[in-house]
């Protein structure tokens, strides 16, 4: 054995019994044993074990999203060694016969090569090691070209923890050998039952933390599902800093193909993107419970864990019929299907959602501020950082070195994407208000007239503005003084926040040239790889395109020859919801003073004889005020 066997296990067993009251009984007690492999195997993967794994993943996400500033910035080593982040450091959660903590050297080795794909194996492999579970990865062959971008891949073999000598050997080979290409395996294609993952049913029993969403060349780990059916993910960067993020939400669930029933024999060609779970390995044992081999589960065996192609099947229905009917309600998009299936709340409260979302955005900005300050200190101490100009391997989003360590280009994309989701979510609320009005909880919107979707859009814009003006954020400028901004001001600056680590904090937070806020900012040019210096104002102007993106680019980045106009910029919240208000009519006249407008809805409708479906125009109190009713 790599680590001396029983003498390491006894303390964990004793402590586990002492701490059982904290977590309750082990959901999957030891039932088998092995005498070879990278670590002792004492458990099989069961549905209860995947739920235990899901709780472990979710707890990491909670600490990354809501913990201390240090926890929010935590990289892999901190995640796995902080007892407040890693539940497996609690003997009760780790359970009987838990294997000892993985060595710091192995954890740091995994961190040094971490990316989104390797994060899935680093976390799942670590969990399997600590809990004494079998684990494995597949080796794959490309269906044509690079395995990360091929039309499809074919598994040709497996590499198991049971077939190597030590944890170090397994983690070195497994994490190094795994990439996003391992997820490009079509259902029912050649050797598909050797695949690392399978598509999963959109069902709360199976789509749980620990599942994944595979985009084209990028994978996210599902880490939380809230009561509204919102999916939250963990993500990792390829930059030298190897950061782990929590920014992505349901808005990241895109690019899923539909089944094509007309392609007889290959209906699921290309159907590897989407929501997936691991094809959990199983340890075959002899009559005494001794492990004799570790293998993949078959498709039939994976049904118990949610294996299903329904996401591709339902998307074909939506694509060909423009909708599918779910519980009597038309579903017109995959996001609506997920929310409908995964939601546990009996109603949705847009006011509650806006308030909690605003708090989340402030937390994200606070995390960004700590990062901005650290980057500025590095530039002051070590000199300016070259912009990754015209490089095939490095661009502003994936460059290594000091740029990768201190630029916020990649994380700013995630922050913008997270902001966009607020409007996407409210779009769905407005649609539900028409289809199933009782499902939308109007509490907190009593001041607004809510006869139809247009009225609700106006109310949501006004409520968002009110809440954003109440939330404040503070950053430290170049002179060391605090600067307070409202979330409403930060929303206005969404496309003005510089990602360039050479820029002072004032510019990183979008201060306009010529304002009092900007006056403390020192001039700080951005160098190019050839030593040419680009003046701060010019560099900031030329970087505007990258500040507008809602996704990372994979091609070369430019500064000296970059376009400065003509590129599309996505509408913000009010612009996106404005489409619902174009046919607006005035609100009913002579509304009594002091009466809650929403309470007049039914009475006024009865007087009209028919439901008024055109949106109302709210009275503007001033050009910069919250829209509302007098």
pLDDT tens for residues 505-553? 999 999 999 999 999 999 999 999 999 999 999 999 999 999 999 887 8
Phi–psi pair at 136, nearest 5 degrees: -160, 165
Tell me the pLDDT band of 614, cut-offs 50, 70 and 90. very low
pLDDT tens for residues 427-481? 989 988 888 888 899 999 988 878 788 889 999 999 999 999 999 999 999 999 9
36 pLDDT higher than 50: yes
* Per-residue pLDDT at 245: 83
Mean pLDDT of 219-234: 92
pLDDT tens for residues 350-409? 999 999 999 989 988 998 999 899 999 999 999 999 999 998 778 898 788 899 889 999
Report the run of H or E that residue 325 belongs to, with start and end: strand 324-326
Tell me the pLDDT band of 217, cut-offs 50, 70 and 90. confident
Gap between the Cα atoms of 133 and 94, Å rounded: 12
* Per-residue pLDDT at 607: 43
Of residues 15 and 277, the one with the higher pLDDT is 277
* Per-residue pLDDT at 16: 36
Pairing relationship of beta strands 616-617 and 585-586 according to DSSP bridges: parallel
* Per-residue pLDDT at 165: 95
Mean pLDDT of 594-605: 44
Gap between the Cα atoms of 459 and 93, Å rounded: 46
239 pLDDT higher than 70: no
Among 58-62, 73-77, 146-150, 566-570, the range of highest mean pLDDT: 58-62
What whole-number percentage of the chain has pLDDT above 90?
A: 68
Gap between the Cα atoms of 499 and 37, Å rounded: 46
* Per-residue pLDDT at 391: 86
**CB-count exposure of residue 70 (10 Å: 0-12, 13-18, 19+):** exposed
Of residues 170 and 243, the one with the higher pLDDT is 170
17 pLDDT higher than 50: no
294 pLDDT higher than 90: yes
Tell me the pLDDT band of 19, cut-offs 50, 70 and 90. very low
Cα–Cα separations (whole angstroms), residue 504 to 112, 281, 411 = 29, 51, 18
Tell me the pLDDT band of 240, cut-offs 50, 70 and 90. low
- Nearest 5°: the CA angle 598, 603, 608 is 115
Gap between the Cα atoms of 392 and 405, Å rounded: 19
293 pLDDT higher than 80: yes
Cα–Cα separations (whole angstroms), residue 190 to 85, 195, 258, 393, 485 = 40, 10, 20, 33, 57
Among 219, 236, 242, residue whose Cα is nearest residue 111: 242
Task: Give the lowest-confidence range in 65-74, 240-249, 283-292, 298-307.
Answer: 240-249
* Per-residue pLDDT at 9: 30
Mean pLDDT of 190-195: 97
Gap between the Cα atoms of 139 and 191, Å rounded: 11
Partners of 473 in the beta sheet?
485
* Per-residue pLDDT at 606: 41
Mean pLDDT of 87-108: 97
Mean pLDDT of the chain: 87
Gap between the Cα atoms of 502 and 228, Å rounded: 41
145 pLDDT higher than 90: no
Tell me the pLDDT band of 588, cut-offs 50, 70 and 90. low
Mean pLDDT of 53-69: 92
Q: Convert 182-193 to b/e letters by CB count within 10 Å (16 or more is b).
A: bbbbbbebebbb
504 pLDDT higher than 60: yes
* Per-residue pLDDT at 581: 87
CB 22 within 8 A of CB 92: yes
Cα 65 to chain centroid distance, Å, stands at: 11
Of residues 434 and 169, the one with the higher pLDDT is 169
Gap between the Cα atoms of 571 and 590, Å rounded: 35
CB 427 within 8 A of CB 421: no
pLDDT tens for residues 308-347? 999 999 999 999 998 888 887 888 889 889 988 998 988 9
- Nearest 5°: the CA angle 403, 563, 547 is 45
349 pLDDT higher than 60: yes
Cα–Cα separations (whole angstroms), residue 215 to 66, 184, 280 = 26, 10, 21
């Amino acid at each position: 054995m790599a680590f001396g066997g029983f003498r390491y296990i006894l303390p964990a067993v004793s402590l586990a019994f002492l701490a059982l009251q904290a977590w309750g009984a082990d959901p999957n007690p030891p039932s088998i044993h092995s005498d070879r492999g990278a670590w002792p195997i004492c458990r099989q993967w069961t549905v209860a074990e995947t739920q235990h794994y899901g709780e472990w993943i979710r707890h990491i996400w909670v600490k990354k999203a809501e913990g201390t500033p240090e926890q929010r910035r935590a990289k892999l080593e901190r995640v796995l060694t902080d007892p407040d982040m890693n539940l497996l450091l609690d003997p009760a959660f780790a359970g009987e016969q838990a294997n000892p903590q993985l060595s710091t050297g192995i954890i740091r080795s995994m961190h040094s090569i971490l990316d989104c794909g390797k994060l899935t194996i680093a976390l799942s492999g670590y969990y399997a090691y600590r809990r004494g579970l079998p684990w494995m990865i597949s080796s794959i062959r490309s269906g044509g070209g690079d395995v990360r971008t091929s039309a499809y891949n074919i598994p040709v073999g497996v590499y198991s923890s049971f077939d190597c000598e030590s944890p170090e050997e397994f983690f070195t080979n497994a994490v190094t050998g795994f990439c996003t290409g391992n997820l490009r395996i079509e259902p029912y294609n050649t050797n598909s039952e050797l695949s690392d993952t399978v598509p999963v049913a959109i069902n709360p029993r199976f789509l749980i933390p620990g599942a994944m969403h595979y985009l084209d060349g990028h994978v996210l780990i599902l880490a939380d599902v809230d009561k509204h059916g919102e999916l939250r993910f963990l993500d990792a960067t390829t930059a030298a800093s190897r950061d782990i993020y929590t920014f992505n939400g349901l808005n990241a669930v895109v690019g899923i193909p539909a089944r094509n029933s007309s392609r007889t024999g290959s209906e699921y060609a290309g159907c590897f993107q989407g929501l997936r779970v691991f094809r959990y390995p199983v340890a075959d044992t002899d009559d005494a419970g001794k492990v004799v081999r570790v293998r993949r589960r078959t498709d039939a065996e994976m049904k118990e864990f949610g294996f299903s192609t329904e996401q591709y099947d339902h998307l074909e229905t939506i694509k060909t019929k423009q909708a599918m009917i779910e519980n009597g309600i038309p579903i017109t998009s995959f996001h609506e299907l997920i929310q409908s299936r995964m939601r546990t709340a009996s109603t949705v409260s847009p006011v509650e959602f806006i308030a909690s979302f605003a708090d989340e955005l402030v937390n994200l900005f606070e995390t960004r501020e700590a990062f901005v300050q650290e980057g500025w200190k590095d530039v002051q101490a070590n000199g300016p950082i070259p912009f990754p100009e015209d490089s095939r391997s490095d661009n502003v989003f994936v460059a290594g070195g000091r740029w990768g360590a201190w630029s916020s280009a990649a994380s700013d994309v995630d922050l913008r994407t997270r902001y966009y989701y607020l409007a996407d979510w409210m779009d769905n609320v407005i649609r539900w208000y028409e289809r199933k009005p009782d499902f939308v909880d109007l509490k907190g919107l009593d001041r607004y007239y809510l006869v139809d979707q247009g009225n609700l859009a106006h109310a949501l814009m006004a409520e968002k503005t009110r809440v954003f003006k109440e939330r404040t954020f503070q950053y430290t400028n170049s002179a060391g003084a605090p600067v307070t901004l409202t979330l409403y001001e930060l929303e206005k600056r969404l496309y003005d926040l510089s990602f360039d680590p050479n820029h002072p904090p004032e510019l990183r937070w979008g201060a306009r040239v010529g304002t009092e806020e900007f006056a403390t900012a020192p001039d700080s040019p951005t160098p190019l790889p050839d030593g040419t210096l680009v003046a701060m104002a010019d560099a900031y102007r030329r970087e505007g395109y990258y500040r507008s993106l809602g996704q990372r680019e994979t091609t070369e980045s430019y500064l000296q020859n970059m376009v400065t106009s003509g590129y599309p910029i996505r509408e913000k919240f009010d612009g996106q919801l404005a489409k619902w208000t174009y046919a607006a009519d005035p609100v009913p006249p002579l509304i009594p003073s002091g009466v809650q407008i929403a309470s007049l809805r039914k009475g006024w409708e009865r007087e009209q004889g028919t439901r008024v479906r055109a949106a109302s125009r709210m009275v503007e109190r001033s050009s910069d005020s919250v829209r509302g009713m007098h």
